[in-house]
Structure 1
């Protein structure tokens, strides 16, 4: 299964509560933190919801 590396590139200050919850659910904490996830429809949807705040790379 394909994997993606997701990196938080923008601050959570001033963002909507649902966007903050999505970032936390992905496992991202601080600015610049990264996590790897398998590509599933659920993960892809979460990434699309906050695509302006994260950088996504195929692994």
Structure 2
């Protein structure tokens, strides 16, 4: 079975770069404390790496 990544936004996007805000939206995150499950793929890991200071990630 393919693994999934559980991504939770822990910091605000306000004051951040536009690209970081857009990356959070692409991941489906809308507010602090919001959690989404994404398939573990190189694309998703790249997006998470770009905003790693704003999110936490767990493997499921």
Give the TM-score of the pair, scaled to structure 1: 0.97
Residue 56 of structure 2 corresponds to which residue in structure 1? 55
Aligned position for 2:27: 26
Q: Secondary structure at the match of 1:51?
A: coil
* Runs (4+) off by over 6 Å: none
Q: May I ask how many residue pairs the two structures share in their alignment?
A: 59
Tell me the residue number matched to 1:12. Answer: 13
Aligned partners of 1:27 and 1:11: how far apart in 2? 14
* Unpaired segments ≥5 residues, structure 1: none
Q: Deviations over 1:1-59 (max 9, x none)?
A: 11010000000110000000000000000110000011011000000000010000111
Q: Provide the secondary structure at the position in 1 that maps to 2:38.
A: strand
Q: Which residues of structure 2 form unaligned runs of 5+? A: none
